[in-house]
Amino acid sequence: IKLRIILGIFQACTTVLCRMVVIIHQYFAPSEYAEHVYLIVCSLNREAFLGYFSAIASILAMDRGLATVAWAWLVT
């Protein structure tokens, strides 16, 4: 569990930095269409962040749902 927390914090911090890179690029970069490697990496990091934390939320919801069903079965 400690490793999961550390990796979650690391992922959140890198996602914040990547979001700042994208915002800075939107404000200060030339207006022409360009695909830079750092923008692709930041976009992939954002998608990984959304997938990782969505999976954690759904696992917690399934865990609580299973605990509720098991508790109701145990009490009756």
Task: Give me the residue spans of the domains in the chain.
Answer: 2-75
The reply to whether the predicted model has a pTM over 0.95 is no
pLDDT surpassing 70 at residue 73: no
Among 6, 3, 17, CA closest to 46:
17
CA distances, 4 to each of 1, 45, 67 (Å): 5, 17, 22
- The confidence band for 69, taking pLDDT boundaries of 50, 70 and 90, is confident
Q: What tokens appear for 46 in the block?
A: 């954002």
Q: Is residue 52 within 8 Å of 10, Cβ to Cβ? A: no
Check residue 76 and give its pLDDT.
62
Report pLDDT digits (tens) over 13-45. 998 998 898 888 888 877 677 778 888 888 888
pLDDT surpassing 70 at residue 75: no
CA distances, 28 to each of 20, 44, 45, 52 (Å): 12, 21, 21, 30
Q: What tokens appear for 12 in the block?
A: 């959140």
Select the more confidently predicted residue: 74 or 67: 67
